[in-house]
Amino acid sequence: MKKYFRQELYDLDAYVPGEQPDPDSKVIKLNTNENPYPPSPEIQKEIDRIVSQGLLRRYPNPVSRDLRNEIAKHHGVKETQILVTNGSDEGLAILFRAVLGKKNTVVTPYPTYSLYPVLTEIQMNGSRIKKIPLKKNLHFNFKKLAKAKGALLAFAHPNAPTGILEKKEDLVTIVNQFDGIVLCDEAYIDFAPENSSLIPEIKEFGNLIISRTFSKSYSLTGIRVGYLVGSENSISLLSKLKDSYNVGMIEEYIALAALKDQAYFLSNREKVIRSRENLKKRLKLLGFGVTQSEANFLFVRPPQNNPKELFEFLRKNNVFIRYFTDDISKNFVRISIGTEEENNFLISAISDFLKL
Amino acid sequence: MKKYFRQELYDLDAYVPGEQPDPDSKVIKLNTNENPYPPSPEIQKEIDRIVSQGLLRRYPNPVSRDLRNEIAKHHGVKETQILVTNGSDEGLAILFRAVLGKKNTVVTPYPTYSLYPVLTEIQMNGSRIKKIPLKKNLHFNFKKLAKAKGALLAFAHPNAPTGILEKKEDLVTIVNQFDGIVLCDEAYIDFAPENSSLIPEIKEFGNLIISRTFSKSYSLTGIRVGYLVGSENSISLLSKLKDSYNVGMIEEYIALAALKDQAYFLSNREKVIRSRENLKKRLKLLGFGVTQSEANFLFVRPPQNNPKELFEFLRKNNVFIRYFTDDISKNFVRISIGTEEENNFLISAISDFLKL
């Protein structure tokens, strides 16, 4: 058959996203770090306003202006330091395209968010990823990261799938030393202690870009809204690569309503954190090795060192968790924090498993 | 200042989208080909269902499965021939990336949709556009198109900004002769006579890709949903380049509800077409040169050959239309079809202008 596309596209491996059962199916879904609670009830008013006024027939604002301004206010930065994107995925994709020319190198700790290697390959220009394995205690290997050279250094903060939050001063040292752009992906930062974010460091470091999302802490995975924060100069350059109208109108205003409802946000976050700490204790009592996660998921090592069997047993019992097969992760499973009820069911299913 | 990004990004001109006054501002907005009528009232039920069940905290289906299946049924093709995208803009961006390696050529008639040159430049790999000017009668120059060589041929059908619909057999001849991928952009096809679409030709031509959108004929510009139709092989390759969850859940189900409500769609379309034909007549009576548009806009030449002045006069009177400055378009203005009331106001403002 004649090949009409670039040869590299035929060679490219397609990204396979995590399993998504139908949203209304009855499984307990603890495999993709979604929030167990619904988003702010305030979003309903905004939806009603937009739909009842027939505004959906109009183009959205091309830079999601109202949402962008509120995000800027929220973080105490200028609105020209914010690029609102179609999920943080679009922001990450834009950043990788902006940085990676022919045969560039992306440095990442390993494991970290599994999308970075995909975004490197997808450039189809010979760019490659250089993985720096985590230390035995699952923390970043800062000595090796400090020596690594590349056009882009990308990591999640807290890291995924471990949930571990590195010290700010260690990260800042690396940002300072690294010669290229540093992406600090803060998808889960809202579940970490206050003031953990690197956003205030942007003032000092022109090479630092932060990505954020409304998916997890604002319970809005379904609407696909995220953003990048960086210097005005970086954001202006990155904006050139976005689609003209990349975020829908209804999505902009749902995210805006959720962001403005900080009372709901804070109480929801508190509930998730409380469940997380509670689940940590209960799993430890059952003999699990539990990492010090500051995210909305736990990375845990089963007492009988049989994570794959645990994953499969739970799956049969309609509890979906995540199992990764890379060298380090293969000894663990990752469990998203559910509601108290879901966590109780999980613990009871795990207890059944351990008695097998 | 240190340059952290690819040199090509600094050199890239940013795309400037058409002017968008606030959606609730009082201007008569006939500049961006939006539909003057609101979308199907059926979308409200789907929004209520998703929000009330708290589903927005969940990931959407990664391939917008339910919508994709309905689109496939609608066109009588397989669901694996459909790629649902974040507006047709994302589909076009994916296609250009999939085709354009180093220093490839994109062939287009000229003028046509102004995004194609932008999507070529944005590859940042030396790919270039080859423009084949329209004939004096504003139709495609098929003789010259037949001789052009390139990796991609892109055109709008009906064409923009002229609104002219080329004969299917002429287009099919070109698809057959062209050595690379042919993009037939059918953003406005629903306003053309039935059976004008090239979708049925995909069966025969492996190099043909059609793009569609819910923005115009379904009055859903605000939600950003479009799609590509092609061979199973092409769509499978193009899917590798999309973000994992590129379309939001609420957007998928709004588009699905609109697509299912064909009665509303047909009556809305009928209204727009009737207004278009009526506006054609009235502008002709005022002495305008009016092209045979089959889209939801008109491309017209003012009797005193002063399109720029007309554009500016109307702007001062709160009627936004579009004026392009390229060699051919500079003699015309483009006017989107509004409601009957808006068209009356337009005609009265134009009459004032002509008496100046």
Nearest CA distance, A54 vs chain B (angstrom): 5
Interchain proximity A9–B241, CB inside 8 Å: yes
pLDDT number for residue B92: 98
Other CB atoms within 10 Å distance of the CB of residue B99:
24
Q: What are the distances in angstroms from CA A42 to CA A55, A65, A218, A221?
A: 19, 19, 12, 17
Instruction: Name chain A contacts of B12, Cβ cutoff 8 Å.
Output: 240
Lowest mean pLDDT of A199-213, B24-38, B123-137, B172-186, name the range: B24-38
Interchain proximity B56–A50, CB inside 8 Å: no
Of B35, B54, B245, the CB nearest to A224: B245
> pLDDT averaged over chain B?
95
Q: Which domains does chain A have, with CATH numbers?
A: 7-39+263-354 (3.90.1150.10), 43-261 (3.40.640.10)
Written in H, E and C, the secondary structure of chain A is: CCCCCCHHHHHCCCCCCCCCCCCCCCCEECCCCCCCCCCCCCHHHHHHHHHHCCHHHCCCCCCCHHHHHHHHHHHCCCHHHEEEEEHHHHHHHHHHHHHCCCCCEEEEEECCCCHHHHHHHCCCCCCEEEEEECCCCCCCCHHHHHHCCCCEEEEECCCCCCCCCCCHHHHHHHHHHCCCEEEEECCCHHHCCCCCCCHHHHHCCCCEEEEEECCCCCCCHHHCEEEEECCHHHHHHHHCCCCCCCCCHHHHHHHHHHHHCHHHHHHHHHHHHHHHHHHHHHHHHCCCEECCCCCCEEEEECCCCCHHHHHHHHHHCCEECECCCCCCHHHCEEEECCCHHHHHHHHHHHHHHHCC
Per the listing, tokens 């009665």 go with B263
Is residue A256 within 8 Å of A50, Cβ to Cβ? no
Interchain proximity A58–B98, CB inside 8 Å: no
**Residue A45 contacts B, CB cutoff 8 Å:** no
**pTM here?**
0.96
Interchain proximity B240–A101, CB inside 8 Å: no
- pLDDT tops 70 at residue B275: yes
State the complex-level ipTM: 0.95
Interchain proximity A250–B245, CB inside 8 Å: no
Per the listing, tokens 């293969």 go with A330
Residues A24-75 have pLDDT tens digits of 678 999 999 999 999 999 999 999 999 999 999 999 999 999 999 999 999 9
Using 50, 70 and 90 to split pLDDT, how confident is the model at B317?
very high
Tally C-beta pairs within 8 A across A and B. Answer: 238
Spatial neighbors of B203 by CB under 8 A, at least 6 apart, are none
Other CB atoms within 10 Å distance of the CB of residue B328:
15
User: Considering only alpha carbons, which residue of chain A is nearest residue B40?
Assistant: A54
Of A9, A98, A241, the CB nearest to B240: A9
Is residue B190 within 8 Å of B271, Cβ to Cβ? no
Q: What is the mean pLDDT of residues B289-312?
A: 97
| Tokens describing residue B147 | 């001789």
Residue A20 sits at φ, ψ, to 5 deg, of -120, 95
Instruction: Name chain B contacts of A87, Cβ cutoff 8 Å.
Output: 243, 245-246
